[in-house]
Amino acid sequence: MNRRARLLAVFALTALLTAPLAAAEAPRSLKPEDLFALKAVGDPRISPDGRWVAYTVRSLDPKADSADTDIYMLPFEGGTALQLTASPKAENRPRFSPDGRYLAFLSGRDGKKTQVWLLDRRGGEAARLTDYKADVADLVWSPDGKRLALVVGDVDPDDPDEEKAEAEKPGLAKTPKPIVIRRLQFKRDGEGYLRDLRQHLYVFDVESKVSTPITSGPYDDNEPAWSPDGRWIAFTSNRTAEPDSNDNSDVYLVEAKAGQKPKALTTSPVTDREPAFSPDGKSIVYLSGGDPKDIWYAPNFVAVVPVAGGEPRPLTQGLDRNVGGPRFSSDGKLVYFILEDGGNEHLARVPAAGGAVERVVAGERSVQAYDLGPKGETVVLESTPQRPFEVSVAEGGALRPLSTVNDEFLKGIRLGEVKRFKATSADGTKVDAFLTLPPGAAAGKRLPLILRIHGGPTAQYNTAFNAEWQILAAHGYAVVGANPRGSTGYGRDFSHALWADWGNKDYDDVMAAVDGAIAMGVADPDRLGVGGWSYGGILTDHIIVKTGRFKAATSGASEVNYLANYGTDHYQKEWEAELGLPWRNTEGWMRISPFFQVEKVTTPTLILCGADDVNVPLLNSEQLYQALRRLGKETELVIYPGQNHGIAKPSYQKDRLERYVAWYDKYVKGEAPKKTAEGKAP
């Protein structure tokens, strides 16, 4: 299982799967070993004069078996990209100073904690600006460019300076201190065990390098936004009596100096986040969550609240769709935001006074991020089924490609066609699905088919480039990816239909998509495979206990026995909201746990998981493997050491893809395992 923010990260990692190509080679299809050529573009930012666009480029290094992110800059009108950073450590969150002279960014490039670095655009190397004992997580320039609002973590008293420790005890390994836990939410994927360490706001004077704490207490304070006059900072925080028991974050306002008490501008029991001031400083636009009883099934909406206080005013609540990244236009008359809708993500806007929603960037594409310039200049980070995410300029109702990071690589690659189709589920519900065909697939020839299932369940497959689909298609498979009930992008009721009933309606929906591909004459009903990661693995587990139609399954980072999962993952409050406490609703917890029907499985199943996964802990995969192995079923368990829910190591990403292909080839196509470049079968 996975939630929106983590899903996005997992999908971003999956999307990095392609390869270098010599100029003289004929166009070819993708292979798992093509892992390292495609780069991930992100975070576009327009300079204050509207002339430049900074962005990040993430690449994978096969020799170091690691990833690196660098910052680039392009003229807004188009031209040659300039690489601004090149250290072996990641540089993220590029932010222009208001006068355009500096570009600030975050990096741990000197080997210590993540700090703020400053690059003078007139020339020279970037210089480290801050020296906190903990990581800096966010930065925002003040309107006058003299200060930065920062989000900085608490200093961990059990994490002494390594050099000092080595000097005191040369040659001796220091024994870690016991981990003492008091919090209700006591662990989180990627962070491990949680203690009483929080993130707070600081104001940092750029010239004097004096840091002033602005917030404190047993809360996490995030998403700072400056008022236009530089006097106030808006931020979000959950300051309820027990923050770990709910998602009730509110928008707060605090004067940007020490010793001031924050004032809550929103007070509803929902998740309020992403605040941004209007140009006149009188209003704040933000995202408001849906009914907290619906947890992650509830769509959010854009709202505006007066800075002076008063009732918030919703702008997009009637859309019944998730939105993100709200901000005012430079004249304050419009509010821009990203709109998730039916397998697409668009850039949209609505009058700040209320009114009809207009789509600025629409069509069959996914818009992941955007930025606005001083005179209405607009850039978007967008992707289509045939093109990975790149920066484009939106002008005159059209898109002008700006960055071309992946274009040269794609010239040498043949991609499979991706098209939508509608499937009708068992109860008549219409379900969106995507079909990816092998490059050059002959019409009328039935193909082996792989059903891939997205994570979530509150997420959606969309029209962004999907390298996993393309790699499977390149190996001769038709690939179906459906948006079953539980998915977002289709409204609250469509998503909420899965409430406490996982593995039933969504099972019918994805099976209808498979049957749709068979009815089209595309898929061979006798050569079917299935698989997914996170919730995709969970639904795979339900599928293999319900049907023997699939010849092979890959269950990645899945949950199979929810009773065993309580207290071992990081979803206690969500489980309790949807299923109740396990000792009070044991029957309900067992009813949706495929583990207790595992004797029905006949499908050869490959099981994979990260060893340090806290989102969907490894014990689920271990239990599924142990049960299938004990029952004498065809199965294999693959554990990736040191990996969390999203498999980060490039070599492991490549290994996972190779294992998918080999497993499907063996059991769906009936082919003998192929040797890898090292002479071994996956």
> Mind listing the pLDDT tens digit for each residue in 304-344?
999 998 999 999 999 999 999 999 999 999 999 999 999 99
- The reported pLDDT for the residue numbered 173 is 66
Q: The dihedral of CA 189, 191, 195, 200: what is its sign?
A: negative
| Cβ–Cβ < 8 Å for 314, 264 | no
Mean pLDDT for 4-18 is: 39
Residue 124 dihedral angles phi and psi, to the nearest 5°: 100, 170
> CA-CA distance, 13 to 344, in Å (whole number)?
19
Per-residue pLDDT reduced to its tens digit, 204-215: 999 999 999 999
- The reported pLDDT for the residue numbered 9 is 40
SS3 content of the chain, % helix, strand, coil (to 5): 20, 35, 45
- The reported pLDDT for the residue numbered 168 is 53
Mean pLDDT for 277-283 is: 98
Instruction: Reply yes or no on whether the pLDDT at 290 is more than 70.
Output: yes
- Could you tell me which residues come within 8 angstroms of residue 596 by beta carbon, excluding any fewer than 6 positions away? 561, 590
**From residue 336, how far is each of 223, 278, 307, 349, 641 by CA, in Å?**
18, 12, 19, 4, 42
- CA-nearest of 621, 622, 605 to 663 is 605
Which domains are present in the chain? 132-264 (no CATH), 410-669 (3.40.50.1820)
Mean pLDDT for 577-582 is: 93
Per-residue pLDDT reduced to its tens digit, 516-544: 999 999 999 999 999 999 999 999 999 99
DSSP string, 620-678: HHHHHHHHHHHTT--EEEEEETT--SS---HHHHHHHHHHHHHHHIIIII-PPPPP-TT
Mean pLDDT for 267-293 is: 96
Instruction: Reply yes or no on whether the pLDDT at 73 is more than 90.
Output: yes
Place 4 in a pLDDT band, splitting at 50, 70 and 90. very low
- CA-nearest of 513, 514, 524 to 444 is 524
Place 195 in a pLDDT band, splitting at 50, 70 and 90. confident
Find the helix packing angle between 505-519 and 535-546, rounded to 10°: 80
- The reported pLDDT for the residue numbered 371 is 98
Per-residue pLDDT reduced to its tens digit, 94-123: 999 999 999 999 999 987 899 999 999 888
Percent of the chain with pLDDT over 90: 82
Per-residue pLDDT reduced to its tens digit, 344-383: 999 999 999 999 999 999 999 999 999 999 999 999 999 9
Q: Which two tokens stand for residue 344?
A: 């697409």
> CA-CA distance, 267 to 270, in Å (whole number)?
8
Residues counted in the chain? 682
Cis ω for the linkage preceding 457 (within 30 of 0):
yes
- The reported pLDDT for the residue numbered 490 is 97
Instruction: Reply yes or no on whether the pLDDT at 657 is more than 60.
Output: yes
- The reported pLDDT for the residue numbered 161 is 54
CA 463 to chain CA centroid, Å, is 15
Instruction: Reply yes or no on whether the pLDDT at 572 is more than 90.
Output: no
Q: Which two tokens stand for residue 524?
A: 């061979």
Place 674 in a pLDDT band, splitting at 50, 70 and 90. low
| Cβ–Cβ < 8 Å for 196, 179 | no
Per-residue pLDDT reduced to its tens digit, 429-471: 999 999 999 998 888 899 999 999 999 999 999 999 999 999 9
| Cβ–Cβ < 8 Å for 280, 479 | no
Instruction: Reply yes or no on whether the pLDDT at 677 is more than 50.
Output: no
Buried b / exposed e along 245-279 (16+ C-beta atoms within 10 A): ebbbbbbbbbebeeeeebeebbeeebbbbbbbbbe
Average pLDDT of the chain? 92
Label the pairing between strands 52-61 and 40-46.
antiparallel
- CA-nearest of 557, 554, 556 to 663 is 554
- CA-nearest of 299, 293, 397 to 341 is 299
Strands (E), 35-130: 40-46, 52-61, 66-75, 82-83, 91-96, 102-107, 115-120, 127-128
| Cβ–Cβ < 8 Å for 73, 84 | yes
Q: Indicate the range of 8-17, 235-244, 560-569 predicted with least confidence.
A: 8-17
- Could you tell me which residues come within 8 angstroms of residue 362 by beta carbon, excluding any fewer than 6 positions away? 344, 346
Q: Which two tokens stand for residue 132?
A: 């906190």
Q: Indicate the range of 187-196, 452-461, 584-593, 617-626 predicted with least confidence.
A: 187-196
Between 336 and 172, where is the model more confident? 336
> CA-CA distance, 52 to 96, in Å (whole number)?
10
Q: The dihedral of CA 538, 541, 543, 546: what is its sign?
A: negative
Per-residue pLDDT reduced to its tens digit, 426-438: 999 999 999 999 9
> CA-CA distance, 592 to 501, in Å (whole number)?
7
> CA-CA distance, 147 to 210, in Å (whole number)?
10
- The reported pLDDT for the residue numbered 559 is 93
How many CA atoms are closer than 13 Å to the CA of 266, on its beta-carbon side?
30
Q: The dihedral of CA 230, 235, 241, 243: what is its sign?
A: negative
Classify burial at 174, counting beta carbons within 10 Å of its beta carbon; exposed 0-12, middle 13-18, buried 19 or more.
Answer: exposed
Give Rg (Cα) of the chain: 25
| Cβ–Cβ < 8 Å for 191, 214 | no
> CA-CA distance, 275 to 265, in Å (whole number)?
11
| Cβ–Cβ < 8 Å for 189, 6 | yes
Is this model's pTM higher than 0.85 or not? Answer: yes
279-281-287-290 Cα dihedral, nearest 10 degrees: -140
Mean pLDDT for 158-165 is: 55
Q: The dihedral of CA 290, 293, 294, 296: what is its sign?
A: positive
Query: What are the helix (H) ranges across 452-534?
Result: 467-474, 492-496, 505-519
Q: Residue 187's beta-bridge partner residues? A: 193
- Could you tell me which residues come within 8 angstroms of residue 360 by beta carbon, excluding any fewer than 6 positions away? 336, 346, 347, 348, 349, 378, 394
Largest CA distance in the chain: 74
- The reported pLDDT for the residue numbered 19 is 35
Mean pLDDT for 261-271 is: 96
